[in-house]
Structure 1
Amino acid sequence: MIPRIGPAPDATQRYQLRPGAYAILPLERRVLLTLQTGQTPDIQLPGGGIDPGEAPLQTLHREVMEETGWRIAFPRRLGAFRRFVYMPDYGIWAEKLCHVYVARPVRQIADPTEPDHHTIVLAPDDAIAALGNDGDRMFLNAYFG
C-alpha cells in the first residue's frame, strides 16, 4: 500500500491522478535540490509529472535536467507516496502519486530550463528542514537517517 502524506482528500472534490518521478541527489555530503520561485517559493526534490507514454525513469532524467541542468546516473527506486493537492499551475485538483528515486548527480551541463527553477545545494539537515512537502521530507530523512 502506498502511504498518503498530508491532508486527506476532500470527499466533495474530484481528483485527477498525476503520477510523477522525483530524485534524491546526494552530492558529497550535501543534497542537490530545486528552488521553485514565484508567488510562493518552494524547495523540492527535483522531478515532476510523468507524461503520457513516458516511462518513470525517462521522466526522472528529463525533469532533473529541466529543473537543475544536471545529468544523473544509477537511479534506484526507493518507494512512493500520495498527496492530494490543488495544482494552481494546471488549475486541477490532483492525487499526486510520487515515485521517489535516489541517483548520482554526474555533472551540471546547463542551467535549469524550467521557468522559475533554480538549483540549490544544502546539507542534509538543512534540506530536510527546508523541503516544502512532508513526503519529500520523509524520504530524505529516511535516506540520510
Structure 2
Amino acid sequence: MIRRFGESMKTGQRYKLRPGAYGILMREGRVLLTHQRAPVPEYQLPGGGVDPGEGAIRALHREVFEETGWAIAAPIRIGAFRRFAYMPEYEVWAEKLCTIYAARPVIRRGLPSEPDHRAAWMAPEEAVEALGNDGDRHFLQRFLQIAMR
C-alpha cells in the first residue's frame, strides 16, 4: 500500500495516473529545492512527470536539470507516495504517483529552462518548513533523520 498525502479522491471525479520522479538533493549540508512561481507559488522537491516511454531515472535527471540547472548522480529510490490534485497547467485531475530518490547534485550546467522555476539552496530545517506539500516534507524529514544519525 502506498501512503497518500493531501486531499482525498473526490467522489465522481476521474483522475489520470501521472507517475513522477522527485529528488532529495543535498550538497555541503544544504538542500536543493525548486521554487515554482506559477500556477501557485511554492517550493518543491525538484522533479516531475515521467513521459511516455521514459524511465523514472531518466525523467529524474531531465526534470532536475530543467527545474534547477543542475546535473545529478547516483540516484537511489527511497520511497513513494500518492496525491490527488488538479494540475491547471495540463487542465487535468491527476492521481500523482510520486517516487522519491536521494541523489547527489554534481555540477550546475546552467539556469533552469522550465518557465517560472528557480533553484533554491536551503538549510535542511528551512527546506522542510518551506516545502509546499506534505509528501515532499515527509520524505525529506525521514531522509534527514536517517542521514543525521
Do both proteins adopt the same fold according to a TM-score greater than 0.5, normalized to the shorter chain? Answer: yes
1:6 is displaced (CA, Å) by 1.2
Q: Which residue of 1 aligns with 2:13?
A: 13
1:40 is displaced (CA, Å) by 2.2
**Stretches of structure 2 lacking an aligned partner (at least 5 in a row):** none
C-alpha distance in structure 2 between counterparts of 1:11 and 1:51, whole Å: 27
SS at match of 1:65: helix
Identity %: 59
* Aligned-partner residue type, residue 23 of structure 2: A
1:7 is displaced (CA, Å) by 1.6
TM-score for the superposition, normalised by structure 1:
0.98
C-alpha RMSD over aligned residues: 0.7
* Aligned-partner residue type, residue 100 of structure 1: I
Instruction: Say whether the 8 Å CA contact 2:70–2:109 is kept in structure 1.
Output: yes
Q: Which residue of 2 aligns with 1:131?
A: 131
Q: Which residue of 1 aligns with 2:81?
A: 81
* Aligned-partner residue type, residue 104 of structure 2: R
The runs of at least 4 consecutive aligned structure 1 residues that moved more than 6 Å come to none
How many pairs does the alignment contain?
145
1:8 is displaced (CA, Å) by 1.1
**Stretches of structure 1 lacking an aligned partner (at least 5 in a row):** none
Q: Does 1:96 align with 2:85?
A: no
1:8-36 deviations in whole A, cap 9, x for unaligned? 10111000000000000011111000000
Q: Which residue of 2 aligns with 1:32?
A: 32
C-alpha distance in structure 2 between counterparts of 1:40 and 1:4, whole Å: 21
